[in-house]
A and B are shown apart, each in its own frame.
Chain A
Amino acid sequence: MRDKIAEFEKRNVQLLAIDPHESHRVRHMLRDVGTKPDEVLYPVLADPVNAVSATYGVAFQMGIHTEWSNRPATFLVDKAGVIRYEKRGTAFGDRPKPADIFDEIDKLGGK
């Protein structure tokens, strides 16, 4: 994962994760995997009332861990703030491969 983050940095791209829970849940999850909140390689943002998840059209679409949670989804936003790519998963773990994301980033040509 650290190598992948370096790939994002090399391309001047910011990675942001959005979690549909309050931030104490995010910290609990990090404690479970032995990571301190300030050691995380990319920000994990808490979306406590699912407002951003609903705006991006992914909220309450996957039953997982006995909750109605976000569909796995990835969006690429260019420097001008325009969405250039999206992947809305249709199964658990249905996410683009890192290589696919890097291809999409490279297609932006630095924009």
Chain B
Amino acid sequence: MPHLSRFLLPLLVGLFVGPACVRAADPPTEPADIIRTFEKAWVVPKGYMRPLYDAGWKARMTAFQKLAASGEKAIPALTDALAKGEPETRIFAAQALGLMADPAAKPALATALKDKTPAVRLYALDALSMFGKLTPTDELKAIKEKDANRDVKAHVGFALDRDDKPDPVALRKLLAGYDLAKMNTAVVGKAAPEFELTDATGKTYKLADFKGKKAVVLVFVYGDT
């Protein structure tokens, strides 16, 4: 019945081949795939500074945003990566779980406090403090006094001294809503990308507040400048 195949064939192609092609071209949306894509793109640089041409940082930001946007299903994929991944994957997962701040990740983060890679311990401490100031348990006191890494010790201090009420839902929303097309759009001769951020006293600043009034010098610091 040739007439039937004339109808059936396009239908079958449309149903199976078509969507399959679309899927292949789409960026990954399943949390485990997002993590795998990050792992391939994130090459650890020699030394402590990524070269200017290196785009690995974009892969990190992209993965964080996509995981935040994929909601709670990101949590099991991240806790799995935190337990079983290579060191850079575990570091990424601990940092991501801090940004997601989902209570379901607490047991995995508590286990990660014993990770052999210092940055995993450090980001796990940050992540655990996303639900509020931590209480000084014997374990935390021991880390603060004896951890082999001084930054990990310092982060116990950050977690114990937190002076605010964290709002993880708002942070997750902020990250999930970040438009990745904005990455790296600050260019000399072009309009400076707009932002709205809060200072240490809670006062909010917008770049636009200064338009027509003052030139602005933006200095990107890292906590010690």
Contact = CB atoms under 8 A, between A and B. Distances in A.
B217 A75 contact: yes
B218 A74 contact: yes
A67 B217 contact: no
B116 interface: no
B217 A88 contact: no
Given A67-B122, A68-B60, A77-B207, A18 B163 contact: no
5 contacts: A21-B223, A23-B202, A63-B45, A67-B123, A71-B49
How many residues of B sit at the interface, in one of the four size bands?
35 or more
B219 A67 contact: no
A26 B163 CA distance: 11
B31 interface: no
A86 B61 CA distance: 22
A22 B166 contact: yes
Interface in B211-225: 211-225
A18 B200 CA distance: 11
Given A56-B186, A62-B222, A91 B49 contact: yes
Contacts of B207: 77, 81
A62 to B, nearest CB: 5
Interface in A39-94: 40, 43-86, 88, 90-92
Interface in B97-111: 99
Interface of B: 45, 48-52, 54, 56-58, 60-61, 64, 91, 95, 99, 118-119, 122-123, 149, 151-152, 154, 157-158, 161-164, 166, 171, 174-175, 178, 182-193, 195, 197-203, 205, 207-208, 210-225
Contacts of B222: 19-20, 62, 64-65, 67, 69-70, 72
Contacts of A54: 57-58, 61, 178, 182-184
B78 to A, nearest CB: 16
**Chain B CB within 10 A, most for which of A47, A64, A71, A83:** A83
A18 B197 contact: yes
Contact of A62 (B50, B200, B211): B50
